[in-house]
C-alpha cells in the first residue's frame, strides 16, 4: 500500500514538473505567433463568396451565381461523416420551409460520387448536391474537416462560417436574420 501510495505521489510530482517544463517548451516551439493573423487571412467571412461551377449528382452544372438574390447555405459534407448526416435532414426541412428566399447547396467531399448518391437517397435530400474539389475547399479558406457550412447573403457575400456539427441553431438564427433583412 505504502509503495503504491508513494508511486502515485511520485507520478503526480513527476507530472507536475513535466507540466511546467512542457508548458514552457510548447509556448516556445508550438503555434506560431502569426497563427491568428493567418486565420484572419484564410477566412472568407466578410468577402465575396468564391464562385464555382460544379456538376451535381445528376450531371447538371450548378453555379453559385445562379442563386444571387437568395440567401445560400453552402454545406460541405461527406458520406463518411456522421455529424454531417445528422444535420442534413434539418437543412432539407429549411429548404422547404423558407422556399424561394433560401437555397441550400450541398458540397460532397467524397472521393466517389456513388457514395454521396447513396446518402442523398437514404436521407431524402432534395436540394442540389455538387461534387466538391480540393481547389474549391481551398478557395473557401480550407475545408480540412467536416462538416463546414457557410451562410452567404443575397448579395453574394459570406456572412458566417460554421465548422463542426453543433451549430444548427446558430446557422438557423443567421439565416432568419438575413431573411428578415431581405423583407421576408
- Identify the helix (H) or strand (E) that includes residue 103: strand 102-108
Question: If binding is defined by CB under 8 A, does position 145 make contact with another protein?
Answer: yes
Nearer to another protein, 72 or 143 (CB): 143
CA distance 133 to 109: 7
Tell me 31's DSSP state. Answer: S
Contact by Cβ (8 Å): 105, 55 = no
Question: If binding is defined by CB under 8 A, does position 7 make contact with another protein?
Answer: no
Residues in the interface with another protein (CB under 8 A) total 40
Tell me 157's DSSP state. Answer: B
Minimum Å gap between C-beta 135 and another protein is 5
Question: If binding is defined by CB under 8 A, does position 38 make contact with another protein?
Answer: yes
Question: If binding is defined by CB under 8 A, does position 146 make contact with another protein?
Answer: yes
Binding to another protein, residues 78-117 (CB under 8 A): 78, 80-83, 109-112
Provide the CA 172 distance to its chain's centre, in angstroms: 14
Question: If binding is defined by CB under 8 A, does position 11 make contact with another protein?
Answer: yes
- Identify the helix (H) or strand (E) that includes residue 160: strand 158-163
Contact stretch for another protein (CB under 8 A) within 14-22, 98-106, 119-127, 172-180: 14-22
Contact by Cβ (8 Å): 129, 113 = no
Q: Cell for 46?
A: 466578410
The contact set with another protein (CB under 8 A) reads 11, 14-15, 18-19, 21-22, 25-26, 28-32, 34-35, 38-39, 78, 80-83, 109-112, 132-135, 137-138, 142-146, 163-164
Amino acid at each position: 500500500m505504502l509503495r503504491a501510495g508513494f508511486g502515485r505521489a511520485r507520478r503526480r510530482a513527476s507530472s507536475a514538473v513535466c507540466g511546467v517544463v512542457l508548458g514552457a517548451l510548447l509556448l516556445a516551439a508550438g503555434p506560431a505567433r502569426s497563427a491568428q493573423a493567418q486565420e484572419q487571412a484564410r477566412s472568407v467571412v466578410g468577402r465575396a463568396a468564391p464562385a464555382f461551377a460544379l456538376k451535381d449528382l445528376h450531371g447538371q452544372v450548378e453555379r453559385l451565381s445562379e442563386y444571387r438574390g437568395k440567401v445560400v447555405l453552402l454545406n460541405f459534407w461527406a458520406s463518411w461523416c456522421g455529424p454531417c448526416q445528422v444535420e442534413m435532414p434539418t437543412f432539407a426541412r429549411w429548404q422547404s420551409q423558407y422556399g424561394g428566399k433560401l437555397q441550400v447547396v450541398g458540397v460532397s467531399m467524397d472521393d466517389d460520387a456513388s457514395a454521396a448518391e447513396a446518402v442523398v437517397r437514404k436521407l431524402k435530400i432534395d436540394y442540389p448536391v455538387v461534387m466538391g474539389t480540393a481547389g474549391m475547399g481551398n478557395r473557401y479558406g480550407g475545408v480540412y474537416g467536416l462538416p463546414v457550412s457557410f451562410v452567404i447573403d443575397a448579395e453574394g457575400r459570406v456572412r458566417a462560417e460554421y465548422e463542426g456539427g453543433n451549430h444548427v441553431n446558430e446557422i438557423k438564427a443567421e439565416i432568419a436574420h438575413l431573411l428578415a433583412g431581405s423583407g421576408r
